[in-house]
Chains A and B, each alone.
Chain A
């Protein structure tokens, strides 16, 4: 991936990761599943997902927006 298309796509991915790190839709919820509040499980899942997305970024788009154009390695 290269160019501004990839830049926009990854920026949106980053925004989603930031925006939903807090499960706003569970605000006020106190349901418990398997010993922990559901929102704590969301936090656990979201951190695992974030690590996965970060890994995918390092494999496919590292250097995007930081290194010089045309020199993005894989």
Chain B
């Protein structure tokens, strides 16, 4: 019981520290919408790097990733390397840098706004915001659910699920509603550094106890030899490529990541962040996933939630350290959710509310944005209490849903021949196909290439992306731009 008290104390202290950072940021925040949602585009390298990184990482780093490595081997390292290290880096330049230039020139705050401006289409703007919120809200729910489950497991039920999920929601509401993007980014930076430190400490501690990586790998070779060989089981070439491609492109269209394309202070910040992506991926995932894999050699078994990292920590480290790691995991979930709440609210405010309300001032928009944060947080919290299967499924397939937006947007950014009808067809067609693959039983979720069945099944998400690309280009080619469209919005850009 004393141990539970200590663990709860560590997590409470951590939450209060986060709140403190949020409050300091609040004191620096203007009462304008651009400052609330984008911190007036002033972020330097460290904050941009860590806020994007912490936002990208959800509970996956601590729970699902190590657990997958435990069950199937550490090949997820390669998925992460391809996805976050290489592909996301390239997209950071191709989509992100371009969006930064466009947004800075025209003052865009959201993706829908950037598209609506170029294509002279309110319908496109509201559609993109609507699709984004559809996938986003259930995804936020998954984070709250993860926090509630982790806290209940850590304390042996002393903190019940609803209290854990609710408490984390309440903390986020307070600091996100108050301090906006600046507070979110600063707490993200704190959370990102904390997660990185805690993972390395856990790796050093556990490896020290079992006699180093060579000894741990030797045990793995003895007890689960399949884990050391590349591929096999779950991991087919098509699985690795589908997963990495779908998530990398999906991430760029997730509102909280896409909006970060707008916030850098200068092109030098974007350059430095771009270079550091692969390094950060390396530093975080190698220890996290190798620990999961090594656990298979050490004879540790997953806990009741099917997770491997908590019992591994319990076996080799003292209780207070396990609490710190759970605090790290809760940090990972919060740093994703807080950013999602803020970005979701900006979509709701700018792309929906401002399109229907007349004469909205900057101050009023920032106020409505805060109300939006509270509303989204409460809706996702209520969903996390009832956990309806359909909504959870939407959350679990959200990356694929966002990935469908990526190629039509990329085509629009670079090809002046893109028309409004073309991008509408690409967005609606790919979303329709992907939704059908998730919810309609007779639409398959996996597709084999007839000429290369040996590569395994390709996910519907990747198939839908190709469909979106073909529709955007094809329909654009056979339709003409309307008078409201202005291709020059995305042209003649320069960092100077």
Contact = CB atoms under 8 A, between A and B. Distances in A.
Contacts of B232: 28
Contact of B495 (A14, A18, A50, A63): A63
A66 B93 contact: yes
Interface string B61-100: 0000000000000100110011001110110011001100
B120 interface: no
Given A18-B86, A27-B230, A34 B214 contact: yes
Q: Is chain B's binding surface mostly helix, strand, loop or mixed?
A: helix
Contact of A67 (B87, B94, B101): B101
A65 B78 CA distance: 28
Contact of B77 (A40, A57, A71): A40
Nearest to B100: A66
Contacts of B27: none
Nearest to B212: A35
Contacts of B411: none
Contacts of B93: 57, 66
Contacts of A21: 78, 81-82, 85-86
Contacts, number: 121
Contact of A37 (B85, B228, B276, B496): B228
A25 B221 CA distance: 21
Nearest to A37: B228
Interface string B222-246: 0001001111100001001100000
Contacts of B362: none
A48 B278 contact: yes
B85 A47 contact: yes
Given A21-B82, A40-B286, A46-B81, A67 B495 contact: yes
Given A48-B279, A63-B495, 18 more contacts: A18-B86, A22-B240, A23-B230, A24-B237, A26-B230, A29-B230, A30-B221, A32-B217, A34-B213, A34-B214, A35-B212, A37-B217, A40-B290, A47-B85, A67-B101, A67-B495, A68-B492, A68-B494
Interface string B287-305: 0001000000000000000
Contact of A55 (B275, B286, B496): B275
A66 B493 contact: yes
A55 B94 CA distance: 15
A29 to B, nearest CB: 6
A51 B495 contact: no
A44 B221 CA distance: 20
A50 B86 CA distance: 7
Nearest to B241: A22
Nearest to B215: A35
Nearest to A22: B78
